[in-house]
Chain A
Amino acid sequence: MKKNNIDQKRRDFLKLGFVAGSGLLIGIHLPGCTEAANQSVSTPEIQDDEFKANAWIKINSDGMITVTVSHSEMGQGISTAISMIVAEELEADWSKVRFEMAPVEDVYKHPKYGIQWTVSSMSIHASWDLWRKAGASARQLLILSAARFWGVSVNECLAENSTVIHKPSSQTINYGELIDKTDGLSLPENVRLKRPDEFKIIGKSVLRLDSHEKIDGSAVFGTDVKVPGMLIATIVHPPVFGAGIKSLDAREALTMPGIKNVLTIETGVAIVAETFWQASSAIPSLNIEWEKSDNRHVSTRQLFKRWKKLGAKEGKVFFEEGDVKPVFESTSRVVEATYDLPYQAHATPEPMNCTASVTKTGCEIWVPTQNQKGAQEIAARITGLDNEQIRVHTTFLGCGFGRRALVDYVGEAVEISRKINAPVKLIWTREEDIQHDFYRPATHNVMKATIDSHGRPTAWLHRIVGADVFAQAMPKVISGMMPDSTPRFLKNMATSLAETFLPRIIAGKKAIKSAGPLPYRIPNVQVEFINDDPGIPIGWWRSVAPSANCFAVECFIDELAAAGKRDPYELRIELLGANPRLQHVVRKVAEMANWYEPPPNGTHRGIAAHDFQSTMMAYVAEVSVNDFNEIMVHRVFCAVDCGIAVNPGNIEAQVISALAFGLTATIKSSITFREGKVEQGNFDDFPVLRMDEMPRVEVFVVPSNNPPTGIGEVGVPIIAPAVANAVYAATGKRLRSLPLRLDEA
């Protein structure tokens, strides 16, 4: 009894301490609340032998340290990286550190976006200091408690390896033994953070914390969630995007074994059964008549024809430096080309899925998502419950790639559970997943440039025609960025206002990323965007706009080098004079690839580089073309500067991962529409890179003391141009659309 009282006081105090302290962190109890508050929906429960130092750190009496990870683990290694950063400043014994996924809480909001989600390679970059401070404050609190316990001066104590040491007497005490000795202490403010040369964990290639459960089959992904009484659902969406349902005849389906229900929901027709196999087997027996949508005329072939026409005229200027017009008028050495980028699917290995259990008083959701707040929001909208009545559990994600930043599948599961009054796990078939994605938008790119007598570009025009991801996707997430206390009608109003006006306001701004400003010094640059959205659903696809823009930019730079009879590497180095970090990376990659030596037998080289949110990267690809005109990528060199390399081994893994992802889009797959329908439907017609197609990759991570920048996406955009430029070196042919196909050239 007594211990409980002490614990209660301690917890209350910690809460107050944190509020008065750095203001970064919350405790677990509301002041003056009784034990009942422990069970409040949104706060994780704390055991008696646990001490929650702050929102990020829990320490057990046995010394185990649990770091709360506010970002989704989709393979990018964030759970290990956050744990490393916290453990570094905490002076934790790394072998005692583990992690758990955070619930939805304000404290876990992304500091840049104001919403709890994992996007844009921004996790480490944006929260690096926050996590370091969380670790450092907890460490200082533990030192203070040890000093008081011993009755010695705090200045004589230091922390190391989960132990506080009193230097003069050499006595030591473990963190686990200190968790009940912090009563009455307040969270230290303004603790000193370590200098990079003091790092013990950061900068080392630390092994991932999530390996074991992923190699014995026990890791819980969304598809593995089990809830008592749960039914399984699958869904059929309108084949022509945007079409509504005219009529549904489910009589035959309802006679099939295990089928419990067939119902119409906002986005399509859901089939509920005892198992997924039963549900998905019933799909062909459904008789659904879809409404005729105008979208039935949308075809990508026509679309590119239209964009070609549109691209012949001037667009809206979104970036301008100098003045291209007079240069174009007065120079004869003009180079022109157009580049076409197709729609792309995310094709995450784990199809979209979500488990939801809706009751009158609450809603519980288990979901592999990149957008916890969005999941809570859409559930609140559908159920009419308050945000705090909705509890979101994040499972492991079988990849995200940006697809899971949108939460349509959460809304569907919640709607089904609510309508059938039972917990339900919704799993999409692969076909639905490929055909009802939010795709990387296609674009048509018009490029025009002039070069001087030294082969240097003097004017550069890049006109992009297509739709802007942000214009379509932002209205879908905007309500999650508003405070929970905002009345629902206001949130709904904001959403519909955003749907109406936001596209016009923001279309183009982010669609030109990596097209302007350019990393290269060119005196006159103009980047235009022509907004023509055919309505095809689009979303964030690993690296977003640069995944398309860099193809045009980096191939066109190569074309200019060829036109000016310049070595494409040397031209880049010359144009990067004002950008020493990227210039260094380009030099480094050329050195790795022995640029001035002939490439290995039968192969040819291509180079590409870019600056992605201050991460600098360059590739050299070694490529050959066989007698069947097939393109084979044998080896790729990569140099990358992403500031402090928190976990260099993981950085290498992320580069290789992004490269493989980009290579599928470079040489294998794309999404096309015909009569409003996606023509691909599974991995047979949307093939993904396999092991025998994977090049050898060598990665060099530039040592740096700058704050860390992102790594999850930067490797995607430049693999296509590096390979295309190598194909040019091999064949003399410029391939200006993806995926690269020599037989069509």
Chain B
Amino acid sequence: MPRLRINGDVRDVNVPPDTPLLWVLNEQLGLTGTKYSCGISECGACTVLINGEPVLSCGLPVSEAEGVDIVTIEGLHGPVADALRNAWIAEDVVQCGYCQPAQLLTAAALLSTNFNPSDEDIDAAMSDVICRCGTYQAIRKAIHRAAGEIRHEKK
């Protein structure tokens, strides 16, 4: 029985080891902020953080997710997350919202190592997550805004 560390909690799940992490989170644990959209590691909707790095959970068997720290949108907290959420609201980023958990998690991974990303850095980090609503420009702005806020607080 796979044992997982998710959002700081330890959870045992009773699923075959080849079940993709996406479905363990979404269906077994009710963490529905992790979304299904393609199932073939193309769209990014299922992004979670594993040891702080964005990972596409539809392509990751749960057996390979043992012994690591998994963070989903429901467990995304802390100063970087707060700065991002504030910026997301201030820039009115969301539209349909389906991709947004993945966008925020991916942005959080970027900002946790780079407090001053250029547009190119943002594009490179964020291009794994498709937004069919085309909120990309607002996301760029929001990441810059959040980065500014984080830099300001660090001073």
Residues of A within 8 A of B (CB): 73-77, 205, 207-208, 210-221, 223-224, 226, 232, 257, 275-277, 280, 347-351, 396-399, 427, 429-430, 649-650, 653, 656-661, 682-684, 688-692, 694, 696-697
Contact = CB atoms under 8 A, between A and B. Distances in A.
B94 A683 contact: no
B133 A223 contact: no
B51 interface: no
A605 to B, nearest CB: 20
Contact of A75 (B19, B31, B88, B96): B96
B109 to A, nearest CB: 15
Contact of B95 (A429, A653, A684): A653
Given A351-B37, A656-B137, A208 B101 contact: no
Contacts of B10: none
A309 to B, nearest CB: 36
Interface string B20-42: 10010001101111111111101
B95 A75 contact: yes
7 contacts: A212-B89, A217-B32, A349-B35, A399-B133, A659-B134, A660-B133, A696-B137
A398 B127 contact: no
Interface string B73-112: 1100000000001001110111111111100100000000
B115 interface: no
A696 B32 CA distance: 32
A475 B73 CA distance: 42
B60 interface: no
A399 B97 CA distance: 9
B1 interface: no
Contact of B100 (A214, A429, A682, A697): A214
B56 to A, nearest CB: 12
Contacts of B96: 73-75, 349-350, 396-399
A694 B123 CA distance: 9
B23 A207 contact: no
A226 B19 CA distance: 21
Interface centre among A656, A659, A696 (most CB of B within 10 A): A656
B134 A217 contact: no
Interface residues of B, number: 56
A277 B20 contact: yes
A217 B72 contact: yes
Contacts of B49: none
B132 interface: yes
A322 B103 CA distance: 54
Nearest to A218: B33
A277 B27 contact: yes
Top 10 closest pairs, chain A to chain B, by CB? A217-B33, A660-B134, A75-B95, A75-B96, A214-B97, A398-B98, A217-B73, A277-B23, A694-B136, A683-B42
Contacts of A73: 96
Contact of B98 (A277, A349, A694): A349
Contacts of A216: 33, 73-74, 85
A216 B34 CA distance: 11
A689 B136 CA distance: 10
A210 B97 CA distance: 9
A75 B97 CA distance: 7
B50 interface: no
B135 interface: yes
Contacts of A684: 40, 42
A76 B95 contact: yes
Contacts of B134: 656-661, 689, 694
A661 B136 CA distance: 12
B122 A691 contact: yes
Contacts of A208: 92, 94
B73 to A, nearest CB: 4
A74 B135 CA distance: 13
Contacts of A275: 23, 27-28
A622 to B, nearest CB: 15
Given A212-B89, A398-B96, A399-B96, 17 more contacts: A75-B96, A205-B92, A211-B89, A211-B93, A214-B97, A215-B101, A217-B33, A221-B35, A349-B99, A349-B130, A684-B40, A688-B43, A689-B130, A690-B128, A690-B136, A691-B140, A696-B137
Nearest to B124: A692
Given A399-B132, A683-B38, A649 B92 contact: yes
B126 A77 contact: no
B70 interface: no
Nearest to B18: A281
A218 B74 CA distance: 8
B115 to A, nearest CB: 20
A351 B92 contact: no
A429 B136 contact: no
B45 interface: yes
Nearest to A401: B132
Contact of A692 (B16, B38, B123): B123
Contacts of B135: 653, 656-657
B137 A347 contact: no
B108 to A, nearest CB: 11
B139 interface: yes
Contacts of A349: 35, 37, 43, 45, 96, 98-99, 130-133
B74 A221 contact: no
A653 B92 contact: yes
Nearest to B139: A691
Nearest to A661: B134
B144 to A, nearest CB: 13
A276 B130 CA distance: 22
Contacts of A657: 95, 133-135
Contacts of A211: 88-89, 92-94
A207 B31 CA distance: 27
A207 B89 contact: yes
A585 to B, nearest CB: 21
Contact of B38 (A218, A682, A690): A682
Contacts of B123: 691-692
Contacts of A77: 95
B27 A210 contact: no
Nearest to B42: A683
A223 B131 CA distance: 17
A691 B85 CA distance: 19
A711 B34 CA distance: 30
Contacts of B132: 347-349, 399, 661, 688
Given A217-B31, A398-B98, A223 B36 contact: yes
A217 B101 contact: yes
A217 B130 contact: no
Contacts of B133: 75, 349, 399, 657, 660
Interface string B114-155: 000000001110111111111111111000000000000000
A430 B38 contact: yes
Contacts of B45: 349
Contacts of A660: 131, 133-134, 136
A217 B74 contact: yes
Contacts of B95: 75-77, 653, 657
A536 B16 CA distance: 40
A212 B92 CA distance: 10
Nearest to B140: A691
B13 to A, nearest CB: 12
Contacts of B85: 215-216
